[in-house]
Structure 1
């Protein structure tokens, strides 16, 4: 039980921040491009309670990826609906990649501080290092996962925005079934093992650099069954 609480203490803040910033980025981009829906509904806030999906949050903590309640976007309010959705869709993964980069920088900074040999600082630097490592990992996961080109994921909306309107409309007909398609592909094919997993680990290792061993140890601790 103590180990479970330790894992949750490492994961909770980075996970909540990752999904919250993702959704706020969508809403902010939409607001800037002409649709005030998210702002009027009070969704342009970093208060995670306004964005949480209970099932998605549990999945994030126990499976390694999850989701929040999508920020509503009224496409017809956008100044250039077809083209603007590209930027609205890209805003979420871009925000996660930005958080991943900031987490990596924090991880490197903590590594430099710990390299000074000031043992009395470990009580502060050690938990920050663990949370920064998980933040890097979870933000890369969310960015890559959401770029899968199947609606309603962001990648599907990006693809639709890049297609001619006729073909975009055909693609968006998949939206009611898209989530089930993605789950089926991730859990019942080798796509995660052979493609998504290596891409995610490669990006995390690239961002982490010399701190990769720290991230690897944190991932193993959090998701091992032992």
Structure 2
């Protein structure tokens, strides 16, 4: 009976995660209804909480896929509760991704869940576990962009529309960047099982620095311009204009909101 209760508790959604979802819902309502005296603060809280929710779902996808692939230790680690506080690297998993959003408007999840790979047999399973995270971000992006490409935005407040556009940008950048075959990112985890043992050993020491290396490279003006040009092209294909994502980020950074986007809303 104790074991059954414990297993049920291992999979029960954490109150911490539910609290973050509640913040997302309340601040989303505040943005929608223009309830807040400062819409920028409401946008900041809404997008940040939604981004953390997506990070939790990203890591949950890794954990759930690993569980079904043979790592039965996943449940006892608390990963199935969606609680971000149980992640192996809270700094990489929550703090740095949020800082990346604030500093550069880049969605880049970090590695978090510890998977006992020795319990899992089959290279395809290992690849699928790594791919599950970016695929979750891609699905989240589809949800965020659906109102745009379905032309279902009639009557939607502009500020909420801007916030949703910026959140979509974060999800798309997260899906693409985390799919890069760079050590430490999920894209490398997809191809790693297919590499020789010698290559894996040579690459292993660089894994802790892959995330920071990608972020650093994106600060090179030419790379940054080319990357976000491609992101803007994808968003345009999904019905989101560059102006909408720009204003979404502008409101998100409420401490430096420009008059242009505010004037556009007030027209």
Does TM, scored on the shorter chain, surpass 0.5?
yes
Q: Do 1:26 and 1:71's aligned partners in 2 also have CA atoms closer than 8 Å?
A: yes
> Deviation at 1:60?
4.3
Cross-structure match for 1:72: 114
Counterpart selection for 2:177 from 141, 145, 156: 145
Partner-residue secondary structure (3-state), 2:218: helix
Uncovered stretches (5+) of structure 2, i.e. residues with no partner = 1-36, 259-267
Q: Alpha carbon RMSD of aligned pairs, Å?
A: 3.0
In structure 2, the CA distance between the partners of 1:88 and 1:108, relative to structure 1 (3 Å rule), is same
Counterpart CA distance in 2 for 1:134 and 1:21 is 19
Q: Are 1:217 and 2:209 an aligned pair?
A: no
Counterpart selection for 1:43 from 51, 76, 79: 79
> Deviation at 1:154?
0.8
User: Bigger shift: 126-135 or 91-100?
Assistant: 126-135
Q: How many residues align?
A: 213
Q: Are 1:24 and 2:60 an aligned pair?
A: yes
Q: Do 2:48 and 2:98's aligned partners in 1 also have CA atoms closer than 8 Å?
A: no
Uncovered stretches (5+) of structure 1, i.e. residues with no partner = 116-121
> Deviation at 1:49?
4.6
Cross-structure match for 1:182: 214
From the CA coordinates, give the structure whose radius of gyration is larger. 2
User: Bigger shift: 126-135 or 149-158?
Assistant: 126-135
In structure 2, the CA distance between the partners of 1:50 and 1:2, relative to structure 1 (3 Å rule), is farther
**What stretches of structure 1 move > 6 A for 4+ residues in a row?**
none
Counterpart CA distance in 2 for 1:76 and 1:189 is 42
